[in-house]
Structures are given as C-alpha cells and as structure tokens.
Structure 1
Amino acid sequence: MPQSNIMPGFRPAISFTLVYLALIVLIPLSAMLLKTFELSLDEYWAILTNPRVQASFRISFGAALIAAFVAGVFGFIIAWSLVRYTFPGKRLFDALIDLPFALPTAVAGIVLAAIYEPRGWIGKLVMDSLDVQIAYKPLGIVFALIFIGLPFVVRTIEPVLQEFDTAMEEAAASLGATRLQAFVKVILPNILPATITGVALAFARGVGEYGSVIFIAGNMPYISEIVPLLIITKLEQYDYAGATAIGLTMLILSFLLLLLINGLQWWVRRRSGQL
C-alpha cells in the first residue's frame, strides 16, 4: 500500500513549522498591531504625517532602493567574474564577498565611517577632487547599504551562472548573434529572475539596517535620520505606541514593495518560459 505522504513524519514537521511561525513571526507582529490599535485614527495619521517621520521614510526607503539597484549591477559583474574567469587570488576574493555576513554591523559602520568621513582616506580624496561629502550625508547611507547588500546579489546570481549551459551561447554565436545580442537574448532572460531576487533581498536587508548605518549617517533629522533610529528614539522616550505605529507602517510598505518585486519576478519567469 503506497504511503500518503512521501515525507516521513509530515505531521510533526508541519506542526513544528506552524509553532515556529506563530512564536517567532505572528505573535510579535500581532503584538505590534494591537499596540498600534491603542491609537485613534487621527493620532496614527498625525504620527505618519509628521515631517520628521516622512523625511525618515524617504531616506530609508530611497537609500535602500538605490543601494539595492547599484548592488544588483555590481553584484552581477562580480558573480560573472567569479564564474567565468580564473585569476590569481580568486578564492580569497570569493571568500571576502561573504565578509559582510560575518562582520558585526556596528564594526562595519565604524570602519565605513572612518574611511568615508571628510578626513578619511577615501572621503578626503573624494572631497578634494569632486567636492562631494560621503559620510554624514544620505550618500553615506547608500554606500553602507551597498556594502551590506552586495553579497546577497552575488550569492543569488552565482549558482544560476554556474548551472547555465554555455552551449546556448555557442549556438547563438553560430547563428550570427553578436556578444551583445547573445547576452540580451540568451543569458539575461535566464539570470534576470535570480537578479531580481538578489535585489529584493538586498532591499529588504537595507530597509531595516541599523548598526552599519548610524555611524556613517550623521543621524541628522530631516537629512540623514533613518526610520529604525527614529523608532529607537521613540522607545527611549517611552512612546511605545508611536514606535509601533511607525514600525507597522514600515512593515506594510516593505511588504508591498516586496510583493511588487516578487510579482515582477514571476512575470519575468513567465515571459522567459521558466514557468
């Protein structure tokens, strides 16, 4: 008699999964939602329409989006180089890609601030040559988020490139396609879903990033103050309802943007014939 489930112990496994989701995800989010309900609609709207809060949302989401797209471009170039080329120190370079995963975010923030501040090694060079300040400005936040998000893009694209059949490129070349045409028509449709996934992961990490940002941001209201820092400020002032209201709004906006990105990924997969 055939088994009804191919996975042994399905019921204990699914029970453990549901308990995990409830304890780690659903209950904390429900607590935040209930705390926000202590506010009236007018009070909630007053918090969200506060100019300082709106400026923080623009900085956090704007910097995260810009950093994610930049990380997507450079992450693809790095992944392509690691898969397609052999060069001295390749293994060391490949290992260094994962450094932001292991490095404490506070340490990363201190290092980035020291390098990019106006008197730092790179910051002074950029200031003298281009008259552009990186640290303590929104540009510094973008640089920090690129540093944090780049490994997500590289490690998402790299396995797809490794599994890609180069015979498809050779077939395109034999049919008279140029390198650019082969890339656009053959390679790009196969790696675009993975690239979108990597960009989404980098964006999701960037929106909620705190430790690596506060040291390089300058944390000036209306200029370089991020939403996580504003939430902590509210908590330090014992304004728990205000902090949860901002947190809930951030969660909703992040979910909607990730839903949009996943929808775009599904559309690309469908157009490329991968579904």
Structure 2
Amino acid sequence: MAQISSRFCAPDADITLSSSSGLLFRVHRKNLETHSSAFGSASAATVAQPEPEPVALTEPSDVLELVLQFMYPQPQPDLRALEFRTLATLAEAVEKYEVYSALTLCRSQMESFVCAHPLEVLVYALRHGHTNLANEAAQQSMRCGVVEAMDILPPETFRDWIAYYERWHRATAKSLGYMATFPKHVPLVQKCTADPNPACTFRAELDAAGGWSRAICEMNLFVLSTDSRRATKLAATGGAQCRCTPRQPDCSIFARPAVFSF
C-alpha cells in the first residue's frame, strides 16, 4: 500500500499527487488552482470519482512537499537551510508549475549560490530566461575547468561557453598585462595572476584601481540584454581609465565591446 505524506493528508482532499518515489499527497484542488498556473485546470484534468487515480509527478517527495507548502496558508520553508541540489530541483519545480509565491524566493536563493555553483546556476538561468543571473553565473564560471563544464552544461551551451571562456581570459590577460606597466598596480597584478578568475575574485580591488573588472564584465556578456548598451557606451567613451595617470592618453585596452550572444 502506498504511503501518504504526514503533512499533506487532508481527509477532505479532492486530489492526490504522487511523487517520483510514490509518496502520496492528498491536497485540495482549490489551493493548486489559486497558487499555480500549471495546476489551474486541475479540476478539469481529472474525472470526479470516489477514489481518483493519483496524479503522477516527476519531483521527489521532499521537493514536492516544499512546493506544496507554498500553496497553503502556513509558514513557508526556509530555503536558506536547503542543500544546493534540493534547492536547484525546487527552483526548477516552481518554474515548471508556475508557483508565483515561490519564484522570486527560489531565484534569489539560486543567485546566492552563483559563486559556489556557477555552472549549475548558469543552466538554470538560461533555461528560464534570467538574463542578468546568467551573465553573472557565466562570469563566475570562468574559474571552472573545461572537463567540469562539459559534465554539467548541455552540449549547445558548452559549445558557446568554450568560445566565451577563451574570449574572457584573453581580455583578462590583456588587461592585467597593461596594468602591469603601471608600478602602483604591480602588487595587484601579481596577486591576480595566481587566481583562475581574477576579474571576479578581485572585482572590488580592480575596479578601485580604475574600473578594470567592470570593463571586462560589461564588455563580455554571455547573454545580450539591455545591459549590453552600457558596455557599448563605456567603449565609446574610452573604457576603463587608470587613475594613476589622469593626464596621460586613455589607457583603456578595449576598442569595442566583445559581447557574446547566446
């Protein structure tokens, strides 16, 4: 006999959901219709009968339970306590079922993992059209290895990521090479050369030295958006300026924005 969730086992339930492991959730159609666009036609999707067949879903039971908590008037789960894998699966589920009360929370929490899991966040952001998050994740992923990226990214995304990877590191190396010609910047350059992705790791220090990280990030976008207009404007006005030599000609290494369209 199938097990029933201890949290969602309403005696007056009029619809039953089944997780990928077979755990049953006895819930109310009205709640599903109110909080989820995907479940909006739940009442029409199943035929009224004394014991309707459970609606089989692909999510594991722990994730399905979290999703349903956002559909009932009760304290919402603390997403900060979730492991990344569970959070990522939950974020995909609320996008899939269009659970609007959870969409922003999940996206915000996924964003908090952009440094720890940039490749996974990139896949999520691209799939659901979160352009700014996709660009940030792509930039953070520039410290990841090619083999790791190949294991995580879909084939088409990996192909584009490789091209972006080459462009990003070429721009970074060129920027650091030019900064090294200014004695004041040499200690920072030496620190940066030992890091796999200095434009992100030392973002604040590079920008304080003259906006170098900001220039690299804005001129190397993985996904084009309205933000790319700022990169074009930056290039047109001379790009990053070295504050150590304000009277010398423009020390920008960028002639035009190297944006990458996915």
Normalised by the length of structure 2, the TM-score is 0.26
User: Higher strand share goes to which structure?
Assistant: 2
Asked which structure has the greater CA Rg, the reply is 2
Normalised by the length of structure 1, the TM-score is 0.25
